[in-house]
């Protein structure tokens, strides 16, 4: 089965589909630094480095190019929709990313597509935006007579054996009639459990990063022996791992972190902290899942990202482990660029499940 990944990022969503046996025909990513990470980890995929509006206008994709289209338009397109939707969400120029995603789906007409986004998208503008998105894909007139039936669900990463409290909205559209969504979802869970018995088992921070040695200046470490099922699932045969380096915190930031105990945050400091994050200067617990890994996991004020014991934020390798990236995956770019790549990615364990689930849907067409 062939798939196209729009808004590919570093490749978290693609990775699960590749692991499930799909071929990614092409991936679209407008940021050249992020595209470089994708390309080096997936050299077999043709990566198109361009804005999706240019790709749409150029007619890059054609009817039948893929069985499945995956990708989530950045949530800024939804959150910036504004109070008025007089001319329709899809025609608002601020939401061009979503419009061009729709145009590519309408052009290629895959049997299924998968959209991932923030769970709050359902309630933006009183639910009007979400309702319009559903209508756009299900309207036969807007889809050249080939409408999609849409299903949606808010999923929690912890329920897929990922050690973080990440919640996301998943929308699956298909042209295949009569899909028993919940039944196929449960069947997919059962199939994966038969193959990987601990796949959906709860995982904590210790399970994810407990075997990693101290950080190094260049981020290169000897490949540690896995100590549990989660670590074994992500392990590789390489002699060394990369990206295990820490941010260089100011003396003041380190002094603040020294005052924070497990599960505590900035409220334990005798000073005013200027941060919009309620978990600012939060320290992780070893034996609980992490908070959602965001693009600011390398910044103490960015959330609950302080190491359970050390006075530093998570390293990129630790954040990648918590996101369920395999150890062999290498992130390229400057520190802030790498943080963006990891924080914006779909956890590969989640994307693998979605890939297997979509396989179940496509099999209904046989």
Give me the domains of the chain, ranges plus CATH numbers. Answer: 2-197+348-363 (3.40.50.150)
Q: Which residue from 172, 123, 169 is spatially nearest to 151, judged by alpha carbons? A: 172
Do the beta carbons of residue 200 and residue 156 sit within 8 Å? no
The DSSP call for residue 267 is: G
Is the Cα dihedral 134, 139, 142, 146 positive or negative?
positive
Per residue in 272-325, pLDDT tens? 776 656 688 999 999 999 999 999 999 999 999 999 999 999 999 999 999 999
Tell me which of 10, 75, 204, 236 is the catalytic residue: 75
Q: Check whether 146 has a pLDDT greater than 90.
A: no
Q: Which residue has the tokens 């972190």?
A: 257
Average pLDDT of span 115-136: 79
Per residue in 189-233, pLDDT tens? 999 999 999 999 999 999 999 999 999 999 999 999 999 999 999
Between 86 and 213, the more confident residue is 213
- Catalytic status, residue 189: no
Is the Cα dihedral 186, 192, 193, 198 positive or negative?
negative
Q: Check whether 81 has a pLDDT greater than 60.
A: no
What was the pLDDT predicted at 344? 93
What was the pLDDT predicted at 182? 95
% of the chain with per-residue pLDDT over 70: 92
What was the pLDDT predicted at 366? 67
Do the beta carbons of residue 116 and residue 169 sit within 8 Å? yes
pLDDT interval class at 86 (50, 70, 90) = very low
> How many residues make up the chain in this entry?
366
What was the pLDDT predicted at 92? 54
**13-32 as b/e: b if 16+ CB within 10 A:** bbbbbbebebebbbbbbbbe
């Amino acid at each position: 089965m062939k798939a196209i990944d729009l808004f590919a990022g570093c490749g978290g969503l693609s990775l699960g589909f590749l692991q499930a046996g799909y071929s990614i025909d092409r991936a679209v990513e407008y940021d050249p630094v992020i595209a470089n990470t994708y390309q080096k980890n997936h050299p077999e995929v043709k990566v198109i480095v361009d804005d999706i509006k240019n790709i749409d206008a150029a007619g890059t994709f054609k009817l039948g190019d893929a069985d499945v289209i995956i990708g989530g338009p950045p949530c800024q397109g939804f959150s910036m929709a504004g109070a008025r939707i007089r001319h329709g969400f899809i025609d608002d120029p601020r939401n061009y990313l979503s419009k061009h995603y729709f145009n590519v789906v309408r052009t290629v007409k895959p049997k299924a597509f998968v959209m991932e986004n923030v769970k709050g998208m359902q309630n933006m503008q009183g639910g009007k935006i979400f309702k319009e998105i559903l209508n756009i894909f299900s309207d036969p007139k807007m889809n050249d007579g080939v409408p999609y039936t849409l299903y949606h669900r808010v999923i929690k990463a912890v329920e897929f054996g990922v050690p973080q409290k990440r919640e996301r909205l998943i929308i699956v559209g298909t042209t295949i009639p009569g899909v028993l969504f919940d039944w196929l979802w449960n069947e997919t869970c059962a199939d994966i459990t038969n193959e990987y018995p601990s796949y959906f088992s709860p995982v904590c921070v210790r399970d994810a990063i407990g075997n990693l040695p101290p950080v190094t200046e260049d981020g290169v470490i000897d490949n540690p022996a896995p100590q549990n099922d989660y670590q074994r699932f992500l392990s590789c045969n390489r002699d060394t791992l990369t990206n295990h380096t820490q941010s260089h915190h100011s003396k003041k930031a380190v002094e603040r972190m020294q005052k924070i105990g497990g599960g505590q945050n900035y409220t334990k400091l005798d000073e005013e902290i200027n941060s919009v994050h309620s978990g600012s200067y939060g320290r992780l617990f070893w034996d609980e899942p992490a908070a959602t890994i965001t693009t600011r996991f390398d910044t103490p004020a960015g959330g609950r990202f302080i190491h359970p014991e050390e006075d530093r934020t998570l390293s990129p390798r630790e954040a990648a482990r918590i996101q369920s990236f395999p150890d062999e995956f290498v992130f390229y770019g400057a520190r802030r660029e790498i943080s963006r790549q990891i924080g914006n990615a779909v956890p590969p364990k989640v994307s693998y499940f979605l890939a297997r689930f979509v396989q179940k849907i496509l099999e209904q067409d046989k």
